[in-house]
Amino acid sequence: MTLFEKIIALEIPATILAEEETWIAFQDISPQAPFHALIVPKKPIPRIAEATPENQMLLGTLLLAAARVAREQKLKNGFRIVINNGPDGGEAVPHLHLHLLGKRKMTWPPG
C-alpha cells in the first residue's frame, strides 16, 4: 500500500484541501513553492506511463480538480502542474499524482 493510499484511507494524517469521489487534494509535506498541493486519484495508477484508455476520463478529471484547487487557493497570477514519471522524472511515490505549485514566479526550464 502506497503512502497516498494510506492518506486516502485516512490512516495517515494530511491537510486535505478538497475531495470528490474519484480524487483527493492535500498539501505536500515537502513543499517546493509557497503553495504546493498534490491531486491524487483514489484509484491507484502507478504512473502516467501506465495509464490506459480506460483512465481517460479520470485523467481529465484530475486536471479539472487541479484547476478547481487553484481557483479556491486564489492562484490568480498563475500556477504550474507537474506529473513526474519514473526515477529519472523525479517520481517519489509510485501512485500517479499531480503537483500543483503556486504563489511564486516559476522559471523555465523547470530543472
Residues catalogued as catalytic:
97
Q: How far is CA 8 from CA 13, 89, 100, in A?
A: 9, 24, 18
CB atoms within 10 A of CB 74: 10
d(CA 18, CA 77): 21
